[in-house]
Amino acid sequence: MKLTRIGAGLAAAIIGLAGMASAEEPEIKKLVIDGVEMTVAAPAPPYLENLDMIYSGWLFRSPETQALELDDFDNPGMVFVEQAQDMFSTPEGTAGKACADCHQLEDFKGLRTVLPRVEDDGKLWTMEDYINKCRTDRMGAKAWKYGGTELTSMVALIGLQSRGMPVNVKIDGPAKPYWEKGKEIFYTRVGQLDMACANCHEDNYGKMIRADRLSQGQINGFPTYRLKNGKLNSVHARFKGCMKNIRAQPYNVGGDEFKALELYIASRGNGLSVETPSVRN
């Protein structure tokens, strides 16, 4: 009898703690890069039932890490962007063409905001897919490794052209089934630690998990330069790292599951600015 009461009281107390209420809102600061103010906090899109506000991961970082993103000269991710700029104008492949022979960088303004998206073939295309398709079909060059430095650097260079513009991926029409699949992955517990993305990045953002402050897991700043590994990190590489942390077998980098998850998580950031390339820990 006594045990029962203790058990019930305990369960009630824990349930009270377990909801959204346990997440902690970050301190809102202004992020201005190169004279352009970023939207780092915005009302959550209506399809996010459990969030009122969405926040850039920048808000959850320490002042020291935040400072690295304020100026492109300080941003270590820009080194990779510059390398991509060189690659952009270097001919490669059997056609003897460079990206620059057909494209001007400015043409890509806005592209980052709408990717991934469903193409005419009914498939979900990421920025990486477009770049590699161009390389293999038009340049006669080899596809770059998905998640590798070259491809991720090029994704950052093209993403940078949309910096400051709001993320605006489509979730309806042909995108709907992909979005639903991504959402299911986001809320499904996996691994020996038996956790879903939502357990940390929806229920507990703003809190410390050991030495790291949990963010909402937004990807508006990707590819992101991580101080932890000293390189640009693709969205899928980050997903993979997260899954390994919870001792789950990651999905394939560049595979259908991660593409669907990328669309879903991108949609959770609809309204935040593209911040590419961001700096995180």
242 is catalytic: yes
Using CB under 8 A as the criterion, what x/- string covers residues 154-193 for binding other proteins?
Answer: ----------------------------------xxxxxx
The encoded tokens of residue 166 equal 């709001």
Under rule CB under 8 A, residue 200 binds other proteins: yes
Q: Which amino acid is at 119?
A: E
Q: Helix 176-187 to helix 256-268 angle, to the nearest 10 degrees?
A: 90
Q: What is the largest CA-CA distance in the chain?
A: 81
According to CB under 8 A, which one of 20, 211, 216, 227 is a site residue for other proteins?
A: 211
What x-and-dash track marks residues 75-94 binding other proteins by CB under 8 A?
--------------------
- What distance in Å separates the CA atoms of residue 222 and residue 268, rounded to the nearest whole number? 14
Q: Is 62 in the site for other proteins (CB under 8 A)?
A: no
Closest CB 212 distance from other proteins, rounded Å = 8
Distance, in Å, from the CA atom of 124 to the CA atom of 262, rounded to the nearest integer, reads 10
Check binding of 14 to other proteins (CB under 8 A).
yes
Task: Give me the least distance between CB of 66 and other proteins, in Å please.
Answer: 19
Whether the CB-CB separation of 273 and 222 falls below 8 Å is answered with no
Is there binding between residue 137 and other proteins (CB under 8 A)? no
Q: Which residues contact 137 (CB under 8 A, 6 or more apart)?
A: none
149 CB-near residues (< 8 Å, 6+ apart)? 80, 231, 232
Q: What are the residues binding other proteins (CB under 8 A)?
A: 3-4, 6-7, 10-11, 14-15, 17-18, 188-195, 199-200, 203-204, 207-211, 214, 243-244, 247-249
Catalytic residue numbers?
Answer: 242
